[in-house]
């Protein structure tokens, strides 16, 4: 029988914002007596193959966060098998939890899928493999049996999150970062049932409460340890919805604020949260600000009443506007997810969304990002589109067409024009978000962009928003008025709008660069520095982060 201390797992996933999912898995298997480590996923299989060949793990676990990355993960697993890797390969994450049949069919090198929360499943799987038991009995696993794919009964949800050990961070020293930033979670789950999101279905599958809360004292102690022992100054709360469950959630958040202060962290750390706009109340947010809250990511998603109904957001656009006003009064930076187009969009709803963005952030309080809704696995929206016969694409890359085919062309033009601005990590949006985040930090002794001209950054954000919204509106009007067969997104008027937008982006990026280097010149140390990536992103990434096997 193999000793537990000699039985190991290699966990592979994206090392983005600490990847707490993998780190909770690693701390859980180590507490159970097993060995393990984390390796960063690379699309080139060679580094992973080399690590596996050198270390010969008994289990290899893949964290498949992004549904569209399934084929790439499959190629890495195929190369592992070709190289002679005989380890048990298990895949976890949101997508394989829902679509385990498709993943096992398309990735034959994988032995099993760990469905939904994975700490207990992985520990039991390793125990059975180490002891020579029947691993196919493990609750929460899906696997092949002869010519069929079966899924065992699901493991019940862990009621008490404080039973979990802190996520393993032995390989991280945040002092090495110019702006020391750590991720943390205080809860799991969300009670809302937005049509585009798979968080509620994920937790409903295992039963238990739709949102489970850690003890505020335990969270504050983890923050204190990370600050004192590892130098973390900024904490990105990766909770699905930090203020969910009404009064219960608000009281919990205020208790946490009190514990942060009691731990001696007031004025020494800052943190970011994510929540819905209708959960933002001045008194509650002010209490959190006293403890260090400096940035809020809001799930706005849509600014048209009809669109909000389609997305099942259960609120009105005015709630978004009111939330933005609260955050401005508290002098916080903020960001938001926004889906300009959803499967039931019309020209009128898109036009209303453009007008809403102008009202919401036309002043440059933050940068306006926008995308379209996608029907990911496990979401009510995917089921609805299937029922209507509108679901297109592949299981790994689901798609749909709009009810008005002209909107398909509008979306194609939008993607062509704003791809770099909205979705590139080095694009204008991400640069503005990071600079606004850092310029609003209130941390004495942290040489962030406190010497930066915040008015200038907000002015640049207002210009960026204005140019984008002008181009969106002009393109929408043109496409609506033009016969479908005559629309060409790569020439004529539409090509001119694209060129105009790209020209404005280059000019604004040059202005930002001047602001950036000017701020550095006013600091005592002008060394090249990292930008904080403040946990920003659109809603589907939020929906697939920070679960125990993602």
Is residue 340 domain-shared with residue 243, that is, in the same domain? yes
Q: What is the pLDDT of residue 2?
A: 84
- Could you tell me the residue range of the domain that residue 512 belongs to? 172-543
Q: What is the pLDDT of residue 519?
A: 60
Q: What is the pLDDT of residue 543?
A: 29
Q: What is the pLDDT of residue 55?
A: 97
Q: Are 48 and 12 in contact (CB under 8 A)?
A: yes
Is residue 139 domain-shared with residue 176, that is, in the same domain? no
Strands 181-184 and 187-189: unpaired
The sheet that has 181-184: what strands, in order across it?
A: 181-184, 234-237, 270-275, 293-301, 333-341, 371-372
Strands 398-399 and 392-393: antiparallel
Is position 158 within any domain? Answer: no
Is residue 307 domain-shared with residue 452, that is, in the same domain? yes
Q: Is the pTM of this model over 0.85?
A: yes
Q: What is the pLDDT of residue 449?
A: 53
Is position 110 within any domain? Answer: yes
Is residue 91 domain-shared with residue 192, that is, in the same domain? no
Is residue 201 domain-shared with residue 244, that is, in the same domain? yes
Is residue 90 domain-shared with residue 213, that is, in the same domain? no
CATH number assigned to the domain comprising residue 145: 3.40.50.280
Q: What is the pLDDT of residue 446?
A: 63
Is residue 63 domain-shared with residue 102, that is, in the same domain? yes
Is position 157 within any domain? Answer: no
Q: What is the pLDDT of residue 540?
A: 26
User: Measured between alpha carbons, how far is 439 from 452 in angstroms, rounded to an integer?
Assistant: 6
Q: How many domains does the chain have?
A: 2
Is position 167 within any domain? Answer: no
Is residue 303 domain-shared with residue 405, that is, in the same domain? yes
Is residue 182 domain-shared with residue 141, that is, in the same domain? no
Is position 164 within any domain? Answer: no
Is position 161 within any domain? Answer: no
No. of helices (H) and no. of strands (E), the chain: 19, 17
CATH number assigned to the domain comprising residue 333: 3.80.30.20
Is residue 73 domain-shared with residue 185, that is, in the same domain? no
Q: What is the pLDDT of residue 451?
A: 57
Q: What is the mean pLDDT of each run of 10 residues along the chain (550 residues)?
A: 92 92 98 97 96 98 94 97 98 97 97 98 98 97 96 95 97 89 97 96 92 98 97 97 97 98 97 98 98 97 98 98 98 97 98 98 98 97 98 96 98 98 94 92 67 85 98 98 98 98 96 73 42 35 28
Neighbours of 389 (CB within 10 A): 7
Q: Are 308 and 270 in contact (CB under 8 A)?
A: no
Cβ neighbours for 488, distance < 8 A, ≥ 6 positions apart: 494, 495
- Burial pattern 310-334, b for ≥16 Cβ within 10 A else e, equals bbebebebebbeebbebbeebebbb
Q: What is the pLDDT of residue 525?
A: 40
Is residue 190 domain-shared with residue 338, that is, in the same domain? yes
Instruction: Among 91, 116, 151, identify where a domain stops.
Output: 151
User: Measured between alpha carbons, how far is 151 from 441 in angstroms, rounded to an integer?
Assistant: 47
User: Measured between alpha carbons, how far is 191 from 210 in angstroms, rounded to an integer?
Assistant: 5
Is position 162 within any domain? Answer: no
Query: At which residue do the structure tokens 């914002």 appear?
Result: 17
Instruction: Among 151, 184, 200, identify where a domain stops.
Output: 151
Cβ neighbours for 521, distance < 8 A, ≥ 6 positions apart: none
Is position 474 within any domain? Answer: yes
Is residue 224 domain-shared with residue 138, that is, in the same domain? no
Instruction: Among 120, 151, 182, identify where a domain stops.
Output: 151
Q: What is the pLDDT of residue 180?
A: 93
Structure tokens at 502: 């790209």
Burial class (CB in 10 A: 0-12, 13-18, 19+), 497: buried
């Amino acid at each position: 029988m193999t000793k537990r201390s000699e039985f190991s797992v290699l966990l592979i996933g994206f090392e983005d914002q600490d990847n707490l999912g993998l780190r909770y898995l690693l701390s859980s298997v180590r507490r159970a007596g097993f060995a393990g480590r984390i390796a960063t996923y690379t699309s080139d299989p060679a580094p992973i193959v080399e690590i596996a060949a050198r270390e010969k793990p008994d289990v290899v676990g893949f964290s498949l966060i992004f549904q569209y990355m399934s084929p790439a993960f499959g190629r890495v697993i195929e190369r592992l098998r070709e190289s002679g890797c005989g380890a048990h390969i298990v895949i976890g994450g949101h997508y394989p939890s829902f679509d385990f049949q498709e993943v096992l069919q398309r990735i034959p090198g994988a032995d099993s899928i760990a469905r939904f929360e994975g700490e207990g499943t992985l520990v039991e799987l390793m125990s059975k493999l180490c002891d020579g038991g029947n691993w196919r009995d493990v609750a929460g696993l899906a696997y092949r049996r002869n010519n069929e794919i079966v899924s065992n009964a699901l493991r019940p949800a862990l009621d008490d999150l404080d039973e979990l050990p802190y996520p393993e961070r032995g390989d991280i020293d945040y002092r090495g970062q110019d702006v020391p930033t750590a991720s943390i979670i205080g809860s799991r789950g969300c009670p809302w049932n937005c049509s585009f999101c798979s968080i509620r279905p994920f937790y409903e599958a295992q039963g238990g409460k739709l949102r489970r809360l850690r003890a505020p004292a335990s969270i504050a102690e983890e923050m204190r340890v990370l600050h004192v022992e590892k130098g973390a100054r900024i904490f990105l709360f990766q909770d699905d919805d930090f203020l969910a469950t009404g009064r219960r959630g608000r009281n919990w958040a205020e208790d946490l604020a009190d514990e942060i202060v009691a731990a001696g962290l007031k004025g020494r750390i800052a943190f970011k949260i994510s929540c819905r706009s209708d959960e933002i109340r001045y008194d509650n947010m002010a209490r959190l600000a006293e403890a260090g809250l400096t940035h809020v990511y809001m799930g706005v998603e849509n600014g048209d009443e009809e669109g909000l109904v389609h997305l099942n957001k259960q609120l009105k656009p005015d709630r978004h506007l009111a939330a933005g006003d609260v955050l401005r009064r508290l002098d916080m930076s903020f960001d938001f997810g926004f889906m300009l187009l959803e499967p039931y969009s019309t020209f009128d709803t898109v036009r209303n969304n453009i007008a809403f963005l102008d009202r919401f952030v036309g002043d440059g309080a933050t940068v306006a990002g926008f995308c379209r809704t996608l029907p990911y696995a496990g979401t009510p929206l995917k089921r609805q589109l299937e029922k209507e016969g509108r679901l297109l694409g592949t299981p790994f890359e689901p798609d749909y067409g709009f009810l008005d085919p002209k909107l398909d062309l509008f979306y194609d033009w939008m993607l062509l024009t704003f791809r770099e601005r909205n979705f590139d990590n080095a694009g204008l949006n991400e640069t503005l978000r990071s600079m606004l985040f850092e310029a609003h930090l209130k941390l004495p002794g942290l040489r962030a962009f406190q010497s930066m001209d915040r008015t200038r950054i907000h002015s640049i954000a207002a210009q960026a928003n204005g140019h984008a919204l002008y181009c969106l509106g002009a393109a929408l009007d043109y496409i609506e008025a033009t016969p479908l067969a005559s629309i060409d997104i790569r020439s004529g008027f539409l090509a001119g709008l694209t060129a105009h937008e790209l020209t404005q982006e280059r000019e604004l990026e040059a202005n930002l660069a001047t602001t950036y280097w000017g701020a550095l010149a006013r600091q005592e140390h002008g060394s090249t520095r990292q930008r904080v990536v403040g946990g920003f992103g659109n809603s589907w990434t939020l929906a697939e982060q920070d679960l125990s096997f993602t």
